[in-house]
Structures are given as structure tokens and as C-alpha cells.
Amino acid sequence: MSKKTLLEVLPELGTVSLGRIHWNLGTAALYEEAVRRGEGMVAASGPLVCLTGAHTGRSPNDKFLVKESASQGDVWWGKVNRPVTPEQFDALYSDMMAHLDNKELYVQDCCAGTDSNHRLSVRIITEYAWHNLFARTMFLEQPAGTVPGEHVPEFTVIDSPSMKADPTRHGSNSDVFIFVNFARKLILIGGTSYAGEIKKSIFSVMNYLLPLRNVMPMHCSANRSSDGEVALFFGLSGTGKTTLSSEPGRLLIGDDEHGWTERGVFNFEGGCYAKMIRLSAQAEPEIYSTTKRFGTVLENVVMDRDSRALDLDSDRYTENTRGAYPISFIDNWEPSGQGGHPKDIIMLTADAFGVLPPISRLTPAGAMYHFLSGYTAKVAGTEKGVTEPQATFSACFGAPFMVHHPGVYAKLLGKRIAEHGSHVWLVNTGWTGGAYGIGSRMKIAHTRAMITAALSGELADVDYVRDSIFNVDIPVKVPGVPDSVLQPRSTWRDGADYDSQALHLAEMFSENFKAFEEHVDDVVVQAGPKI
């Protein structure tokens, strides 16, 4: 293909002088390219293992949206959605094109959204071969070797880790940048090798577009029973969202990003992106098996260079070790990527204070309260400077990706719950018997038993007691779980210590929710913890 023709089908690259272009390479070819370029190594069990360097996670402070007339009225501007001017974006784009001049590039044409009525055609242009493989794995792929020009992208991502931003010239926060331009339908990413920025940038686009069409975008996993009953799992990183939705007895619709339409739910992606640290073959057999597969991309997982054996327990590079793999690697996946309206919605939290009940039932108002709160807790050692449990509130269980005000998504959720009578549960996968460092992590077997009981309807007829502080209803019995586990206060040695810690967390909930009080009905405010 001539350079002129390439530029005709790659208008995103402007007038850059093109080097070698690799178009829609398949998995095997991208493996070869990544190894040839020294970007990664193949593990003995088959995955491609890559390191991301200094950036081992997302850089939320480096994400910016272009403030332009067509979209600025819909955007929730502030700490999450920071503005840059069209002129600053144009300057960065111009400098990025100069940086990519005559470079070898990889192009992957793919889509986001299994529902054809809401599918987004995307193009991912990357400097690294392994980033292109990541994109091919995570999105809905086109057949390998798809002819250039047949795919017309609605949004394009240009990703160049070696490109550095200039805060003075470009308006960025640092030399890392994730710039989203809704008017030009273009996303620029650079200064970081963390591949997750690619997938989350498109998630942000879906979070902007879909509410305008009365579709609820969700940061959640989803599965369904053999008779079609759908469950959603909301939760921040580390709460067990991916693990608990990959259940052998249910079909996995998707592990991270979904939409809820008037017909039901649909997955945005064709792959899964799971945390790998201390993965257990016993507790998480489905996900563990993907670490033995050709086609899995592992980020920052420690590997012996000689034997090529993996050490999933090591956090030498980061706690946030990751694996990207096709959803088809999960034996019980749902090929359509779609399901009906959710019968159950599970909101997951890893409470490091050890005071939330392991499972509780929420009212519709309580569901909106906890959805807007989006609570979990960081524990000591997972991030630099974290020496004791720290509460984290992320609206809608995914604030960094929410473009509209959180109230927009909460109202859509409340509307869907009311229309379809979904049951909502708050599940604590964190600590029991004391805070982190004193208590112990909730047994995954107990958590699975509680979720199984909720989804099967076994908790419909049991008695409940109202928690006097957190204002939620706790079942007095759950099959397969000791009664003593269900009431968190009874698991602590000193009830007064529990009361003090519970009140402390309730006050943090209340303080955080003040930002939303004017945007919701009073019944939602009253559904929160009681101080």
C-alpha cells in the first residue's frame, strides 16, 4: 500500500511521514513483533510478559478533556474531568505527530459494545506492538488481516509511551497525558506504558455517549444463570469484582464494563483485565488457568528469565500486577456478551476497617446512596505512604471514568431498578474480627456462599435485622456461613472498639455524601449510615 493511500485511511496521523505500518496483525504476529522489539518475553506457560516501567497503574491526575462548545455543557468539570483548551490539544497533537514521524506503528481496528445498536467503532494506533495486542485482546476484534479502509472508526486512540508532554505548552499536569477530544473524536495517550489507559479512555467515551441515549454505562462485571437470570457486580479494584463474577456455575457476560438498555445488559469488551497478584488455583481456578495460556498478556508479573516460570505471589514491581486475556478463555463465558435485565445487583466493598457486615440487603434508596458513595478502603502497603486503612469513595464505583455528573448515572440506575425490581446487596469482601492488621480477610468461600444464596433466592424468606449504624438489613442466617460471621460486631474481641471504628466510618460516609445531597431526594440521604 502506498503512503498516499495509507494517509487516506489514516487521517488521524495528519501529514506525518509514515514508517512501516502493521495493520490488524493477529495474536501470533503481535507476539513475534513484541519479542523482536524487546518489549516482552514469552513465559514457559504461554503468556507474553511485559513491564510498564515507572507507571504501574492509571494516572488519573493526567487525564484531561478538551473544553469545547459541543460537549462542555454535559461534562462534570472538576478534579475528575480537568479541562484543556482546543489550542493546547492541537499543540500536543502537532508535537506528537512530529514525534511519530517515520516511526514503526501498529494499527488495530476494533469495536466496543456487543449490542449492535450501541456499538462504537474504534481504531487504536500504538507505538508498541504489545499495546496493540492488548487492544486486540480487550476490545471486540476484527478478523486478523482486515483490509485497511473497510473499518470506519468513530473514535481513535493514538498511544505513544515515549512521547512526553510539556505542561507549559500543552496544559498537562506532568509529562504523562491522556487527552480526550470529543469534538475531534480523538484520544492522545503518552508518557506511560501502562496499557490500561487505552481501555479506560474508550470507557470514558462510552460513559459520555450512552447516557445521552438513555443507556446506563456501568463499571461492573456481569454474569447469568443457566435459566437467564442476570447479576451485576459493582466494585472498585481489589474488591473481587472479576473473581466473584467468574463463577463456574454461571455464564460470564463480562468482567468490567457494561451498558444497561431498555432491553437488558451488554458487555463493552471482548476481553478481561484481572489482577494477578497472589492468584490462587484453588480460590480462582478460572482466572488462574489464563496464566497458562498463549494469548494472555501479563503486566509486571515477575518471571524467572532463565526458566520463564511465573511468580504470581511477588510484588517486586507492583501490587497491581495485571493479566489481559480473551473472555473466551473462561470456559463458561456468554458468547453473545449480552443478557436480560438484572435480577440482582451486588455492590462490593473491601472494608479494611472491619465494620461493615459481610452481606446486607439495600432498599432502592440505599442502593442509590451506596452507588453514589462507591466505598472501599486501601490497606497499608498497597500504595506508597499508606500506613493504615484509608477510606476511598469513588462515585458510581468508577469516578475517574464518569464524564457526566454522578447524579446522571445514579438516576439512570434508580430508574432501571424501579422498572425491573432488581434486588440490591452490599457485600463486604474486606476484613472481619478487627481492622486490617488485627482482623482477617473475609474467607472467599464464605463470600461465594453468601452471593450464591442471594442469587438463588435463598435469602428471600429469612429474617433480617437492621444495623443501627449503617442502616442496612443483615440476614440472620445464610446457608454455609456461620451465624457469628454475619454480625460484624460479634466478631470483634471488644464491642466498644467496634462501635468506635464503625462510628468513624459512618462519619466518613456522611461527610463524603454532602457533595450529592442537593442532587438526590431526601429519602436517599436518609438511607445512609446513622451517626
For the annotated catalytic residues, the residue numbers are 58, 200, 219, 237, 241-242, 256, 322
Q: How far apart are CA 393 and CA 369, in angstroms?
A: 12
Dihedral sign, Cα of residue 343, residue 200, residue 430, residue 506? negative
The type of residue at 335 is: P
333 φ/ψ angles, rounded to the nearest 5 degrees: -100, 160
Q: Are 492 and 498 in contact (CB under 8 A)?
A: yes
Q: How far apart are CA 307 and CA 304, in angstroms?
A: 6
Q: What angle in degrees, to the nearest 10, is found between the helix axes of 364-373 and 495-513?
A: 80
Eight-state DSSP code of residue 387: -
SS (H, E, C) 455-491: HHCCCCCCCEEECCCCCCEEECCECCECHHHHCHHHH
Region at 211 (left for phi over 0; alpha for psi -120 to 50; beta for the rest): alpha
| Cα–Cα distance measured from residue 122 to residue 187, given in angstroms and rounded to the nearest whole number | 11
3-state secondary structure 402-453: CCCCHHHHHHHHHHHHHHHCCEEEEEECCEECCCCCCCEECCHHHHHHHHHH
Closest by CA position to 219, among listed 201, 211, 207, 230 = 207
User: Could you please report the per-residue DSSP string of 36-67?
Assistant: HTTSEEE-TTS-EEE--TT--S--GGGEEEE-
Contact present, 216 and 413 (Cβ < 8 Å): yes
Strand extents, DSSP E, 184-334 = 186-190, 216-224, 230-234, 251-254, 257-260, 265-267, 271-275, 297-299, 302-303, 310-311, 322-326
| Beta carbons within 8 Å of 432's beta carbon, 6+ residues apart | 354, 358, 439, 440, 441, 442, 485, 488, 491
Q: What does the block give as the cell for 368?
A: 442509590
